[in-house]
């Protein structure tokens, strides 16, 4: 509103009544656009574009190239660059170019009584057209770049929120798992040192899941074969006197992190049971983990066993899957996974675990907490 005062004063002094009416009307309309919320965004943009071009054309016709008409034409092109795409910029620049060409032609034909000569009109018009083209495309690419940067920042913020939610969810679940393991193992009344070793082995299984998660970056799924390989690698390092064998058959399959923790703990408990009872007093032998995945049925079959010779007491070494303190934790984890477990008969102690795998949950979905199910 302050800028209109000099224009009004100059229009009155020079008796340019059309310019005065155009300036006042344009400014009043801009104020209305700003203050009245009923106007839609598209209506406001279209009004600003029309006013800029119309006022620029009016000033050019009345005052010639030395007036402010070129500035309003430039504003028209610049606004098209800010609010429109490439097509809008090209059309706005073509309209501005065509306007200057027509006005210069009219001046050359004597239709416009401007004080400036034709050479001055051509030079001034050409400069304004070139500046409009350069600045309008520069503004478009600058705005577009910042818009993409804003979108990328918003996307990263959304991913960060999901990741923080996953970390919080994972931390709560893991604390609950560790607490449950400690409580269950405390009830077995074993040697405290052995109990701590077993808890450490369980924590190592959980750590294996998290190590694999870090390799997957933002994905919260784990390939089961990679999990078994990681667990066996840790077992080989901790128990080098035992021969370790693991095999995989069938299609690759992924599991979400929660169920991967359950699966890792299940494998670890059965392996710990074999180490504890089958290889006491330096006994030699092997432990094997065989995994078969049927892609059609989605069923995973695990065979975990050993051929250790020490403490082959059936009561102590291999309690039945349906009862006994030795495998209480295994039974609890198996129920979380919805797994069926049975003991194969024969010279070696072999457990068969059958699990129907559900498809991994999308990262955007709320993950169920298997710890909430009753043991």
pLDDT at 289: 92
Of 152, 176, 196, the one marking the end of a domain is 152
Whether the per-residue pLDDT at 240 is higher than 70: the answer is yes
Which residue range(s) make up the domain with 341? Answer: 188-372
**DSSP assigned state of 67:** S
Q: C-alpha 154: how far from its chain's center?
A: 10
Q: For residue 93, what are the CA distances in angstroms to 68, 84, 318, 362?
A: 18, 12, 85, 48
Whether the per-residue pLDDT at 337 is higher than 90: the answer is no
Clarify whether residues 337 and 203 are in a common domain: yes
Residue 128 — very low, low, confident or very high, per pLDDT cuts 50/70/90?
confident
**Mode of pairing for the β-strands spanning 349-356 and 299-306:** antiparallel
Q: Which helix (DSSP H) or strand (DSSP E) does residue 237 occupy?
A: helix 224-238
Clarify whether residues 210 and 307 are in a common domain: yes
Q: Is 55 helix (H, G, I), strand (E, B) or coil?
A: helix
Clarify whether residues 97 and 194 are in a common domain: no
Clarify whether residues 359 and 215 are in a common domain: yes
- Check residues 218 and 265 and name the one with the higher pLDDT: 265
Q: 180 lies in a domain?
A: no
Choice among 87-96, 193-202, 247-256, 281-290 with the minimum mean pLDDT: 193-202
Of 152, 180, 198, the one marking the end of a domain is 152
Residue 217 — very low, low, confident or very high, per pLDDT cuts 50/70/90?
low
**DSSP assigned state of 347:** S
Clarify whether residues 32 and 96 are in a common domain: yes
Clarify whether residues 193 and 337 are in a common domain: yes
Q: 47 lies in a domain?
A: yes
Clarify whether residues 131 and 199 are in a common domain: no
Q: 93 lies in a domain?
A: yes
Q: How many domains does the chain have?
A: 2
Residues 290 and 333 sit within 8 Å (Cβ to Cβ): no
CA 154, 156, 160, 166 torsion-angle sign: positive
Clarify whether residues 225 and 284 are in a common domain: yes
Clarify whether residues 144 and 263 are in a common domain: no
Q: 163 lies in a domain?
A: no
Residue 87 — very low, low, confident or very high, per pLDDT cuts 50/70/90?
confident
Q: Give the burial class of 337: count Cβ atoms within 10 A of its Cβ; 0-12 exposed, 13-18 middle, 19 or more buried.
A: buried
- Check residues 285 and 195 and name the one with the higher pLDDT: 285
Q: C-alpha 184: how far from its chain's center?
A: 38
Clarify whether residues 23 and 136 are in a common domain: yes
Clarify whether residues 226 and 89 are in a common domain: no
Residue 370 — very low, low, confident or very high, per pLDDT cuts 50/70/90?
very low
Q: For residue 171, what are the CA distances in angstroms to 166, 174, 322?
A: 8, 5, 31
For the stretch 251-296, pLDDT in tens is: 888 888 888 888 888 898 888 888 877 776 666 788 899 999 988 8
Residue 17 — very low, low, confident or very high, per pLDDT cuts 50/70/90?
low
For the stretch 26-63, pLDDT in tens is: 666 666 656 667 667 777 778 778 878 887 888 788 77
Q: 159 lies in a domain?
A: no
**DSSP assigned state of 324:** -
Query: Residue 16: which of 51, 58, 48, 52 has the closest Cα?
Result: 58
pLDDT at 248: 93
Of 104, 130, 152, the one marking the end of a domain is 152
pLDDT at 125: 82
Helix axes 86-108, 69-83, angle to 10 degrees: 160
CATH number for the domain including 210?
Answer: 3.30.565.10
Clarify whether residues 123 and 248 are in a common domain: no
Q: 165 lies in a domain?
A: no
pLDDT at 311: 47
Residue 365 — very low, low, confident or very high, per pLDDT cuts 50/70/90?
very low
184-206: average pLDDT: 72
Q: 254 lies in a domain?
A: yes
- Token pair of 59 as six digits: 């000033």
93: left (phi over 0), alpha (psi -120 to 50) or beta: alpha
């Amino acid at each position: 509103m302050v800028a209109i005062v000099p224009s009004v004063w100059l229009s009155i002094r020079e008796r340019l009544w059309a310019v005065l009416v155009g300036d006042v009307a344009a400014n009043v309309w801009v104020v209305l656009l700003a203050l009245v919320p009923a106007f839609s965004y598209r209506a406001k943009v279209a009004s600003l574009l029309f006013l800029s071009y119309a006022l620029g054309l009016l000033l050019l016709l009345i005052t010639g190239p030395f007036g402010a008409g070129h500035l309003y034409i430039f504003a028209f092109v610049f606004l098209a660059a800010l609010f429109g795409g490439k097509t809008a910029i090209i059309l706005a620049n073509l309209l501005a170019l065509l306007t200057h060409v027509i006005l210069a032609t009219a001046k050359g034909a004597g239709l416009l009584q401007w004080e400036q000569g034709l050479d001055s009109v051509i030079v001034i018009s050409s400069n304004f057209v070139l500046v409009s083209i350069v600045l309008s495309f520069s503004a478009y690419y600058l705005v577009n770049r910042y818009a993409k940067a804003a979108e990328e920042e918003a996307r990263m913020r959304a991913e960060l929120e999901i990741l923080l939610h996953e970390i919080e969810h994972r931390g709560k679940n893991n604390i609950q798992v560790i607490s449950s393991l400690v409580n269950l193992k405390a009830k077995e009344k074993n040697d405290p040192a052995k109990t701590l070793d077993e808890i450490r082995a369980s924590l190592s299984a959980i750590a294996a899941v998290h190590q694999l998660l870090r390799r997957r970056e933002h994905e919260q799924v784990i390939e089961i074969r990679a999990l078994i390989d990681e667990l066996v690698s840790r077992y080989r390092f901790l128990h080098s006197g035992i021969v370790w064998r693991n095999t995989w058959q069938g299609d690759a399959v992924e599991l979400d992190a929660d169920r991967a923790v359950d699966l890792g703990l299940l494998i670890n408990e059965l392996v710990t049971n074999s180490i504890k009872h089958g290889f006491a007093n330096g006994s030699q032998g092997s432990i094997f983990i065989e995994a078969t995945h049927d892609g059609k049925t989605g069923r995973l079959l695990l065979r975990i066993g050993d051929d250790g010779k020490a403490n082959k007491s059936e009561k102590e070494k291999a309690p039945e899957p349906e009862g006994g303190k030795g495998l209480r934790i295994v039974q609890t984890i198996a129920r979380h996974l919805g797994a069926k477990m049975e003991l194969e008969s024969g010279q070696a102690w072999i457990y068969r675990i059958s699990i129907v795998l559900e498809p991994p949950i999308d990262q955007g979905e709320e993950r169920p907490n298997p710890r909430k199910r009753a043991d």
